[in-house]
């Protein structure tokens, strides 16, 4: 018993003799690719410029697509819907899907997009804070077409993802700004 007490005393004195140095803050090193885009025509309904480092996959269902960003571990889920006199229904559904994340978001900002020349009108929902989705949007020509997208990460959202989040939001905005309906 006495030997263990002496051993513990020596251990504590030796362990406490070093000066404490706080660990430096570490930041996630993210290598983001150079911005470069290519025009992509989707089944004769619409086209947009997508990043060359993203891959568009058509899902088994009609008009459902995934724009995958493999190095950023994220997916932009895309849906095209032909309008049959039910535009307001689709806008309201998009709004309710966007505001499902209201409880977790610090803020949701809305940006209106209007391109009269190409008849592209829409709304971008941009989220601040820790939410499942980074951004959502919808686009329409207000008579025949409706297109919506939602950007998700395949990982837990943390502050360290902010550079990647902002990088992909810029790509999403570029998609919106270069979006064209084929029949106009």
Q: What pLDDT, in 10s, does the model give residues 9-56?
A: 665 666 555 566 666 666 667 789 999 999 999 877 899 999 999 999
Q: What pTM did the predictor assign? A: 0.81
Backbone angles phi, psi at 163, to 5 degrees: -60, -40
Q: Which residue has the higher pLDDT, 4 or 85?
A: 85
What is the domain range of residue 126? 37-181
pLDDT at res. 15: 59
For residue 93, pLDDT beyond 90: yes
102, part of any domain? yes
Q: What is the pLDDT of residue 1?
A: 63
Q: What CATH number is given to the structural domain containing 73?
A: 3.40.1000.10
> Across all residues in the chain, what is the average pLDDT?
87
Q: Which of 72, 97, 100, 95 is nearest to 162 (CA)?
A: 72
18 belongs to a structural domain: no
In this predicted structure, what is the pLDDT of residue 99? 92
Domain presence at residue 124: yes
For the segment 131-150, what is each residue's pLDDT rounded down to a tens digit?
A: 888 999 999 999 999 999 99
Residue 2 lies in a domain: no
pLDDT (mean) for 115-129: 95
CB 75 within 8 A of CB 68: yes
In a domain, 77, yes or no: yes
Residue 179: pLDDT band (50, 70, 90) is very high
- Residue 151 maps to a domain: yes
Q: Answer yes or no: is 115 within a domain.
A: yes
Question: Which SS3 state, helix, strand or coil, does residue 42 take?
Answer: strand
Contacts of 113 (CB under 8 A, 6+ apart): 120, 121, 122, 123, 124, 137, 139, 176, 177
* Distance between start and end Cα atoms, the chain: 90
The number of folded domains in the chain is 1
- Rounded distance, CA 147 to CA 48, Å? 12
Q: Pick the residue with more confidence: 182 or 113?
A: 113
Bigger pLDDT: 62 vs 152: 152
> Does any domain span residue 49?
yes
DSSP string, 100-144: GGTTT-SEEEEEEEEETTTTEEEEEEEEESS-SEEEEEEEE-SSS
Q: Provide the pLDDT for residue 88.
A: 96
Where do we find the tokens 């971008």? Answer: 124
């Amino acid at each position: 018993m006495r030997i263990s007490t002496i051993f513990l005393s020596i251990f504590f004195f030796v362990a406490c003799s070093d000066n404490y140095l706080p660990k430096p803050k570490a930041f996630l090193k993210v290598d983001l690719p150079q911005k470069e885009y290519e025009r992509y025509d989707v089944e004769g309904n619409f086209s947009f410029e997508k990043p060359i480092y993203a891959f568009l996959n058509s899902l088994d269902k009609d008009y459902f697509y995934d724009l995958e960003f493999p190095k950023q571990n994220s997916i932009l889920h895309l849906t095209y819907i032909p309008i049959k006199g039910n535009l307001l229904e689709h806008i309201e559904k998009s709004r309710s899907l966007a505001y499902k994340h209201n409880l977790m978001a610090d803020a949701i900002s809305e940006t209106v997009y209007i391109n009269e020349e190409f008849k592209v009108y829409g709304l971008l929902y941009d989220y601040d804070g820790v939410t499942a989705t980074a951004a959502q949007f919808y686009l329409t020509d207000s008579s025949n077409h409706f297109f919506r997208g939602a950007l998700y990460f395949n990982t837990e959202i943390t502050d360290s993802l902010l550079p990647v989040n902002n990088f992909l939001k810029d790509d999403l905005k570029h998609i919106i700004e270069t979006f064209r309906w084929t029949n106009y």
